A and B are shown apart, each in its own frame.
Chain A
């Protein structure tokens, strides 16, 4: 086996080893152990993990390391690939053994690192040594990873054997042909499918809110509100290319409008939900206009920091003493009266319907704008503002329009949110909330509707599903963001652009075109106004 391959497998093992050390130090192995143990109805905890669960974790990680290492050696023979997995396992195991060796030393010398490395309690460290006496524990660790890495290698080699390959082919081909049939069916067939699909969707959307309980109504309702915000931000960032980082400010304006007009404190007004919602949208849009007017000359990143500043200004002002008599200060506004149906305030089902309606409205407006002349003007501005201006597009007006409409969306979401929660406070309007919406549209896929839907669900709905891994949620979120950007920067659902000017191609493009890639031709982006 040549040196390069050896070094590569060795490095793979080292990388996995470092990741493993990190996981142990943050007790991620114990957390996974808790989840694994739950499957077999055994209780484990992060502070005192069950040894078996840690072993299973180790085996799984080792198998992954083996698989990665073996797959890298594409050209080599099977024997050499297995050797690669062994080398990886050895270096990985060595690092793991080193770690538990240090643990053993600390236990023997009675040094408690808990004050600094908060997860390393003595029970935890002993569990990492598989509760075995010193030398046995260390070697057990080493062999866990060595053996499971080899297992991983075997799995890859086995997967690629010709016998297995033919079975694979058979399993995969059936659904593939089915999908292909749908795609290339006659137009009538496609339309029938479409109608069936929409009918099903309608039934589902109408019935589900009643059936699935108030918790899911709340969660999906929040997802819906984030969809509305995502659509709004997509208009500003995705369609017209202005990077705005303080988007939550418009949400806050909308929410506070509805709140202040409908709560006993501080103003004791009861204007009513619907008029105040409309006012909320208008005020948010207006603030978008007012924000945009002086900033039209600013380029990308400057606009970003200024809008970030604007978001922070709104938050601090809402929280401050000076405006307490106007906006309720740090206490926020409580007891917001929401919409009523025949005298009774909305319950969660009715809020869900309201949100669904708002989402549908948002999708409709967005869809129409996207394919209109306005939408094309925005695309032109996004691609190259100078050229757009040269071809007669009134860039200032269109950019302002994008800001106004986008802000209006946020105002709508804010107003509904204030009524739904019956409470609004300044700490909710933080920078992180703006960043969440931005991540949502970029992870989902900028500039298109299904992308926004998927992004909202992924970013808001998934954490609800993932409440089990509570403490590690944000850690996983951060890592996922980076991974998403590296693996699939165009988003989960890249947007397509109709290639109208190329009549030779089919009108419905068969492959998604990455519009985002079009402004990165490898040339250096020089800043100019």
Chain B
């Protein structure tokens, strides 16, 4: 071959051996059998996993039944609330992926910035004294306005962060191969986390909720002689998630921006030829996904109460898992993936009788299994197809 260098005999023999093993002419019959064996891997794996699941569920639910219906209800409630938050963040990932085919690693940190903004607003209103006696604060005398403003500010700041993130770290890399924007996203994520840590100190911040949204309080259901609490903050999160998802869906389906997004996702060049301003559409997508993340962040703070610079990291990874689970690039897929993941995390370990510490393991194992049998996620991919 042209350009081959001369090697010593030993190297030559070794190389020959390696090549021989790689491309040896296996007798055709054996080759066919080998291929058939490989084909069997997936159904075999499916069978094993299915049997295992059935067995464990049987053991836990029928034989041992350690938990009463009240516990199951609690787990379900926790799962649904968690799923709502995951869905919201997952959609942000999916939107960006559909348009740019890049994993926006910094998305979790955008959520964290939204959470921090909400925190500062609540703190400000908590300190603002109103009323004739100067005793009550703005937060509790006008809770609804406070909450609305907190969300608006959180979503705006997060949206701006998303916008500048795209402008500084991603736009120059439009034409680069896949890995380069990924590394840039990782760098941006590290930068944002550490910037927040240096600005606001690593202290864990506690959200001061207005009294009507006290953490831990809620409607009480009596199931099986015990009180199951449906927390106010949880219901609030879920309802708001649902509302935002509906709004997003409408935007994507009915508005011009949505059409532009779908067009750019389908084919950038043709969309540009059709008169769509690609740059602006991409910026607007980032703004939208940032706003959703910001809302998720404020919700997270209200429901869970603790925010610090690293808050976004784990939900970010989980939400990304959810987005992939549902089929990345697919909005209903992200919603489904998020809810699915939330419920599995909550109820899975209990249903299978394994340690709660292993819930993340369970989540990832499910992801792997889903992807083995359906490599493009539960609902398949593509932002632009009619499914959306």
CB within 8 Å of B: which residues of A? Answer: 22, 25-28, 116-119, 237, 243, 293-295, 297-302, 304-306, 308-310, 312-313, 316-317, 319-322, 368, 372-374, 377, 394, 396-398, 401, 431, 435, 438-439, 442-443, 446, 471-472, 474-475, 477-482, 484-486, 489, 498, 500-501, 503, 507, 516-517, 519-520, 522-525, 527, 529
A477 & B190 in contact (Cβ 8 Å cutoff): yes
By a CB distance below 8 angstroms, the chain B residues around A302 are 324, 328, 371, 375-377
A478-B189, A485-B183 known; A313 and B364 CB under 8 Å? yes
B372 & A304 in contact (Cβ 8 Å cutoff): no
Closest to A435 in B: B186
Closest to A489 in B: B180
Contact of A398 among B22, B176, B182, B368 (CB under 8 A): B22
Smallest Cβ distance from B7 to chain A, in angstroms?
A: 9
Closest to B325 in A: A305
In terms of DSSP, what is the predominant structure of the interface of chain B?
A: helix
Contact of A305 among B177, B195, B321, B355 (CB under 8 A): B321
Closest to B181 in A: A485
CB within 8 Å of A: which residues of B? Answer: 1-3, 11, 15, 18-19, 22-23, 38, 41-42, 45, 97, 101, 103, 120, 123, 168-169, 172-173, 175-184, 186-195, 198-201, 203, 267-269, 317, 320-321, 324, 328-329, 354-355, 357-358, 360-361, 363-365, 367-368, 371-372, 375-377, 381
Closest to B180 in A: A489
A117 & B199 in contact (Cβ 8 Å cutoff): yes
Smallest Cβ distance from B119 to chain A, in angstroms?
A: 9
Smallest Cβ distance from B202 to chain A, in angstroms?
A: 9
- CA of A471 to CA of B194, assembled, Å: 9
Q: Can you list 10 pairs linking A and B with CB atoms under 8 Å apart?
A: A26-B195, A309-B368, A317-B361, A321-B355, A374-B19, A394-B23, A431-B317, A442-B183, A475-B194, A481-B187
A529 & B101 in contact (Cβ 8 Å cutoff): no
Smallest Cβ distance from B369 to chain A, in angstroms?
A: 9
B371 & A301 in contact (Cβ 8 Å cutoff): no
Contact of A527 among B123, B355, B381 (CB under 8 A): B381
Most buried by A among B186, B269, B365, B377: B186
B357 & A485 in contact (Cβ 8 Å cutoff): no
Q: Which 9 A-B pairs have the closest CB atoms?
A: A481-B187, A478-B191, A478-B190, A309-B364, A118-B201, A26-B198, A485-B184, A482-B187, A475-B194
- CA of A295 to CA of B178, assembled, Å: 20
A309 & B367 in contact (Cβ 8 Å cutoff): yes
A298 & B371 in contact (Cβ 8 Å cutoff): yes
By a CB distance below 8 angstroms, the chain B residues around A477 are 187, 190
Smallest Cβ distance from A430 to chain B, in angstroms?
A: 11
Smallest Cβ distance from B9 to chain A, in angstroms?
A: 15
- CA of A76 to CA of B268, assembled, Å: 37
By a CB distance below 8 angstroms, the chain A residues around B42 are 294
By a CB distance below 8 angstroms, the chain B residues around A522 are 175
By a CB distance below 8 angstroms, the chain B residues around A117 are 199-200
A308 & B191 in contact (Cβ 8 Å cutoff): no
A116 & B367 in contact (Cβ 8 Å cutoff): no
Closest to A246 in B: B364
Closest to B202 in A: A118
B187 & A373 in contact (Cβ 8 Å cutoff): no
Contact of B188 among A377, A396, A482, A519 (CB under 8 A): A482
Contact of B187 among A237, A310, A397, A478 (CB under 8 A): A478
By a CB distance below 8 angstroms, the chain B residues around A394 are 22-23
Kindly list 8 other residue pairs between chains A and B, CB separation below 8 angstroms, not including A309-B363, A485-B183.
Answer: A25-B199, A243-B179, A295-B371, A298-B375, A442-B183, A472-B194, A478-B192, A520-B175
By a CB distance below 8 angstroms, the chain B residues around A27 are 198
Smallest Cβ distance from B162 to chain A, in angstroms?
A: 15
A478 & B200 in contact (Cβ 8 Å cutoff): no
A294-B42, A478-B190 known; A486 and B172 CB under 8 Å? yes
Contact of A529 among B179, B360, B375 (CB under 8 A): B375
Smallest Cβ distance from A157 to chain B, in angstroms?
A: 29
Smallest Cβ distance from B263 to chain A, in angstroms?
A: 12
- CA of A116 to CA of B172, assembled, Å: 34
- CA of A386 to CA of B123, assembled, Å: 57
By a CB distance below 8 angstroms, the chain A residues around B19 are 372-374
Smallest Cβ distance from A359 to chain B, in angstroms?
A: 20
By a CB distance below 8 angstroms, the chain B residues around A305 are 320-321, 324, 367
B3 & A524 in contact (Cβ 8 Å cutoff): no
Smallest Cβ distance from A453 to chain B, in angstroms?
A: 18
B355 & A294 in contact (Cβ 8 Å cutoff): no
By a CB distance below 8 angstroms, the chain B residues around A293 are 41
A498 & B190 in contact (Cβ 8 Å cutoff): no
A322 & B175 in contact (Cβ 8 Å cutoff): no
Contact of B184 among A435, A481, A520, A523 (CB under 8 A): A481
Smallest Cβ distance from B144 to chain A, in angstroms?
A: 25
Contact of B45 among A294, A320, A368 (CB under 8 A): A294
Smallest Cβ distance from B206 to chain A, in angstroms?
A: 12
Smallest Cβ distance from B25 to chain A, in angstroms?
A: 12
Closest to B42 in A: A294
A472 & B198 in contact (Cβ 8 Å cutoff): yes
Most buried by A among B177, B178, B328, B377: B177
A500 & B175 in contact (Cβ 8 Å cutoff): no
Contact of A310 among B38, B324, B364 (CB under 8 A): B364
Smallest Cβ distance from A233 to chain B, in angstroms?
A: 12
Smallest Cβ distance from A301 to chain B, in angstroms?
A: 6
By a CB distance below 8 angstroms, the chain A residues around B363 are 309
- CA of A304 to CA of B168, assembled, Å: 25
- CA of A372 to CA of B184, assembled, Å: 32
Closest to A519 in B: B177
A368 & B187 in contact (Cβ 8 Å cutoff): no
A482 & B177 in contact (Cβ 8 Å cutoff): no
Contact of B361 among A299, A313, A368, A524 (CB under 8 A): A313
A322 & B355 in contact (Cβ 8 Å cutoff): yes
A312 & B360 in contact (Cβ 8 Å cutoff): yes
Closest to A397 in B: B22
- CA of A523 to CA of B172, assembled, Å: 16
B360 & A525 in contact (Cβ 8 Å cutoff): no
Smallest Cβ distance from A121 to chain B, in angstroms?
A: 12
A373-B19, A474-B194 known; A486 and B173 CB under 8 Å? yes
- CA of A319 to CA of B367, assembled, Å: 21
- CA of A25 to CA of B23, assembled, Å: 62
Contact of A524 among B176, B267, B371 (CB under 8 A): B267
A116-B120, A117-B200 known; A295 and B372 CB under 8 Å? yes
Closest to A307 in B: B368
Smallest Cβ distance from B177 to chain A, in angstroms?
A: 5
- CA of A28 to CA of B375, assembled, Å: 47
